[in-house]
Structure formats: C-alpha cells, structure tokens
C-alpha cells in the first residue's frame, strides 16, 4: 500500500510540475478600458493588427489559426452583428 501511495504522489507531482511549466507560457494581460483579463500561449501565437481598437488579434506562428479577444460597450443592448 505504501508503494502505491508513493507512486500516486510521484505521478501527481510530475503532472503538477508540467502544468506549472505550461502556465508560465500563458502570461495574463488586462484590458485597461474594460478591465477583463486574458491569457494565451505565447509560444504559439503572436499579436497581429486588427480593425477594432478594443479587440486584441492574434495569429498562429506555424499554422493558419487566429483568435481575438475583446469587448465593447453595449449599454443600449444592441445585438452584435458579428466580429
């Protein structure tokens, strides 16, 4: 039983260490206007130019993947027409 407990502990320690290393590659950024935070894998994506000033655009370094993060003031409750 002690060997099994030790083995489980070691597996959890290894998993935690690899998760912590991955988390360091995802720095957190905060939008100064709206206050939301976001993280992304810096080894996979780089910031790119976009058309909306309150959005952050990213493109993949090695593939055609893209994503954006953003917000807008919608006090009137107007439905979004898409990005």
Q: What is the pLDDT of residues 19-47, one digit of tens each?
A: 544 556 888 888 888 888 988 888 888 88
Mark residue 35 as left, alpha or beta (left: phi above 0; alpha: psi -120 to 50; beta: remaining).
left
pLDDT attached to residue 10:
46
Is the pLDDT at 59 greater than 50? The verdict is yes
Handedness of CA 22, 24, 38, 46 (dihedral sign): negative
52 found inside a domain: yes
- Which domain, by its residues, includes 9? 2-70
pLDDT attached to residue 2:
56
83 found inside a domain: no
75 found inside a domain: no
As a whole number of Å, the CA-based R_g of the chain is 20
Which residue, 70, 28, 62, is CA-closest to 46? 62
59 found inside a domain: yes
Number of helical (H) and strand (E) elements in the chain, helices listed first:
1, 5
The residue that leads in pLDDT, 65 or 2, is 65
- What pLDDT, in 10s, does the model give residues 60-83? 988 888 888 888 778 888 877 655
50 found inside a domain: yes
pLDDT attached to residue 52:
73
pTM: 0.54
């Amino acid at each position: 039983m002690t060997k099994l407990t030790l083995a489980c502990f070691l597996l959890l320690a290894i998993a935690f260490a690899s998760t912590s290393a991955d988390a360091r590659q995802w720095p957190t950024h905060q939008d100064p206007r709206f206050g939301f935070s976001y993280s992304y894998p810096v080894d996979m994506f780089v910031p790119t130019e976009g058309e909306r000033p309150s959005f952050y655009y990213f493109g993949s370094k090695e593939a055609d993947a893209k994503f954006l993060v953003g917000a807008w003031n919608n006090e009137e409750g107007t439905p979004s027409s898409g990005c």
